[in-house]
Structure 1
Amino acid sequence: MTAPRTAFAPGRFYGAPTVERRLPGVRLAHLAATMSAEHVDEHSHDDAHFVLATHGRYETTAWGPDTEGPVLVYNPPGVVHRDRFVEAGGYFLAVSFDAGDWRDFSDGRGAIDALRLTGPAARRAALRLTRSLLSADAEPLSLEGLSLELAAEALAPVRDGDHPPPWLAMAESYLADAFDQPIGVADLARVAGVHPVHLARGYRRWLGAAPGERLRTRRLERAADLLMHGRAPIGEIALASGFCDQSHLNRQFRQAYGVTPGEFARLCGRRPDVSCVQDDTRAGA
């Protein structure tokens, strides 16, 4: 008698998570493979998901060209497959969407078979998402937006006009007004009156950045302005600009501008308090 195929619950794989995040509508995980190739049988998943093999040789039964470079696969809910790492030591990103949510926002346009995604846009979105997930201070909005950009690669293309759509200005205006508050992709989509997937794709096309990147830019701009013209300690500036704490601001500021907030303040002629200078020696490391 043939043994029943394994049907994995949402967000579960042949792997042990090294990092895992649960966001509205999507589960993200970076996992270490736990099963050798010969022990991986045909199986399915209850959710729609993407897998990016970040380390190790990965074999997939998905349809698509067998190309060099990172292996990126989309599996619709319930599709039977036998994807596996050939050797031990594999690592992979998994991006999982609840089956009901996936049906809702794909509106029947999603592929019904497993696909191997080899286009540069799909790989770029998956690699950006991996980098963001593994960072110490990944913004939920950034993770959501990048997840939806990746999802868009498995959906039928949508025609866009030759000029930025009016909804983009509405979304940007909302970001400018509410940058210091928790913001999700759904919030931006609701304000703009478009679908979250359409919003994520539009941001990348017209602005060259994900919504989370635009949010981070706006927060850094506010922090820089306060550092130039205010006298508040850097810790207070961090909170006023929407960052979790001073260390969070220090990392993001130095990554964007190449200097710490304290160094920037001194370059602008400001002489911060002793408590402000500590970002250079401790929190900014």
Structure 2
Amino acid sequence: MIELERGCYLGVNKRDYNINGLLVRETEYLSKVYEGWHAHSNAHITFILAGGNREQRKKSESVASPGKVIFYDSGEVHRNFNTALPSKNINLEIESNLLERYDIKMTSIGAIIHANPDTKFLLLKMYNEMRQSDLYSTESIQMLFLNLVTTVSHCLNKQQPSWIKIIHEQLNDRWAEKITLNDLARVAHVHPVTISKHFPKFFSCTLGEYMRKLKVERALSMLKSTSLSLTEIAYTCGFADQSHFTHTFKQMTGFLPAQYRKI
């Protein structure tokens, strides 16, 4: 087993943006890479932009496909194999002392990112800032990271009633459907007024905003894994037309759909 030092990944590092305690790095995989067990000295979040692989940890195995976000704690042993070439990742590497001031544990981030579509959008906006790399990029990346940290802290510090989990599962399972407030109330066995009052507190947005996030999240994968046109993807993901899809996608990710597909 090998341990990779700060900023080291098994592919080719194309570009990065280095801030004290935080590193945003774009890594490409163009040829067969080391498939043995390894770990990283710092915790990091990986966003699969293109390609992917099979990922194995000591007690689990999963497919890392385009649009997926994966969290690795510092020193966590894993290996990647069957890499689909070419592949491309965004890696957000976080040094432990950076989060001490916010009283957030690395493992807490891992528990939240998979359930929160905002994580993907914040990572893509950091990546976009890294690509632009102008006078405002450092502050923008810091703000986006603090937004991510704040989101994690917000989720962890709230006692969620049991019906919130039911609603979360319903929305994620039925992301392509039209779901009404009465539908949610019936499934969760709570009054529509109760949902209306507490939904923004636990989801940090309105019902409509959250559903649009889920639709854009699905579009991220479809743009990379299918040859469907933008219009076809827009309709498949439940948008009224391509224009609405393009506007919403750009607002949430910082990229136009066509730009994202070419990354």
State the TM-score, normalizing by the size of structure 1.
0.46
Q: Compare the two structures and name the one with the higher strand fraction.
A: 2
State the TM-score, normalizing by the size of structure 2.
0.50
Q: Which one scores higher on RCO, CA 8 angstroms, separation ≥ 6?
A: 2
Looking at CA atoms only, which structure, 1 or 2, has the larger radius of gyration? 1
